[in-house]
């Protein structure tokens, strides 16, 4: 078995207005959970990208490392914690709301060349062979349907509990869809079939596609609210509850503690356990 994990956490973005505080702690906590608490993923098979390392190119290069050589029985984990957004889609027939869900790498500047779209993920993950246990976690705004919005932050987005949201600010608009010539070289072109097929894995997302994900302060440290309660419930129940049930418990914990976000699970493996 070749169990491999890629953990991406971005606190520091080039524009100080977009800095977050809990994303690196998210992936450190996940590493401890999978490598030390449960010893399922060997530390030498875990790669972490933080801040400046987590460019679009860096993330794609390491996702290809994650998938390369995977065989049935292997376990793969991709955990992203950082900004997320929505952008005008190039595939209107596939998106009723006309929007793609994206993540915002360190070098994201509001252009197609620096974002990672849901369709690009679909193309990459279509290469994962059947029988591989693939889990994808996204603690970012607008995370559902990937299978932090480019609007200005208002004062009311911050509160006495040191909570704000993982959406991007300082961008007046997102670049529109690619023109016909650009589409010919785009990673998603020619990949419509995998795009519309269900994910051969499980996506555990911090919120619904129209919602925001909280970057908050719990137990005297900054962390993503979703990641905190996900790991807490996995510690208790990963051996006897499937991932869909775990996400149901995380929803209850977030609601009980005053967070206005509803985590989701999707994909062909959502009814499987987190670990094989």
Give the angle subtended at the CA of 248 by the CAs of 246 and 252, to the nearest 5°.
Answer: 115
Q: Judge whether 82 and 9 are in contact, CB under 8 Å.
A: yes
Catalytic site includes residue 104: no
What is the enclosing helix (H) or strand (E) of 80? strand 75-81
Catalytic site includes residue 164: no
Q: Give the pair of three-digit tokens for residue 63.
A: 């996702």
Rounded to whole angstroms, how far apart are CA atoms 233 and 230? 5
Give the torsion through C-alpha atoms of 72, 73, 74, 78, to 10 deg.
90
**Residue of 146, 149, 73, 76 lying closest to 108 (CA atoms):** 149
Pick the catalytic residue from 79, 83, 133, 142: 83
Cβ atoms < 10 Å from Cβ of 169: 17
What is the enclosing helix (H) or strand (E) of 117? strand 116-117
What burial letters (b/e) apply to 239-276, b meaning 16+ CB within 10 Å?
eebbbbbbbebbbebbeeeebebbbbbbbebbebbbbe
Pick the catalytic residue from 23, 141, 207, 228: 141
Active site members: 83, 141
């Amino acid at each position: 078995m070749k169990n491999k994990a890629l953990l991406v956490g971005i606190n520091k973005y080039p524009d100080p207005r977009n800095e977050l505080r809990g994303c690196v702690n998210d992936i450190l906590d996940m590493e401890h959970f999978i490598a030390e608490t449960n010893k399922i993923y060997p530390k030498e098979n875990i790669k972490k990208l933080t801040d400046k390392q987590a460019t679009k190119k860096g993330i794609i290069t390491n996702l290809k490392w994650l998938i390369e050589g995977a065989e049935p029985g292997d376990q793969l984990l991709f955990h992203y914690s950082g900004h997320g957004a929505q952008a005008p889609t190039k595939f209107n027939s596939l998106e009723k709301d006309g929007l793609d869900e994206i993540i915002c790498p360190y070098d994201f500047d509001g252009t197609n060349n620096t974002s990672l779209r849901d369709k690009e993920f679909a193309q990459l993950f279509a290469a994962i062979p059947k029988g591989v246990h693939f889990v994808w976690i996204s603690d970012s705004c607008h995370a559902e349907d990937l299978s932090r919005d480019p609007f200005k932050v208002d004062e009311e987005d911050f509160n006495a509990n040191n909570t704000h949201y993982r959406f991007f600010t300082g961008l007046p608009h997102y670049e529109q869809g690619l023109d016909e010539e650009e589409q010919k070289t785009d990673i998603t072109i020619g990949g419509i079939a995998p795009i519309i097929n269900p994910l051969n894995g499980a996506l555990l997302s911090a919120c619904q596609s129209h919602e925001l994900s909280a970057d908050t302060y719990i137990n005297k440290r900054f962390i993503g609210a979703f990641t905190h309660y996900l790991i807490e419930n996995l510690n208790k129940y990963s051996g006897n509850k499937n991932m869909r049930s775990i996400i149901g418990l995380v929803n209850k914990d977030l609601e009980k503690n005053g967070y206005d976000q509803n985590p989701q699970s999707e994909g062909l493996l959502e009814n499987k356990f987190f670990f094989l």
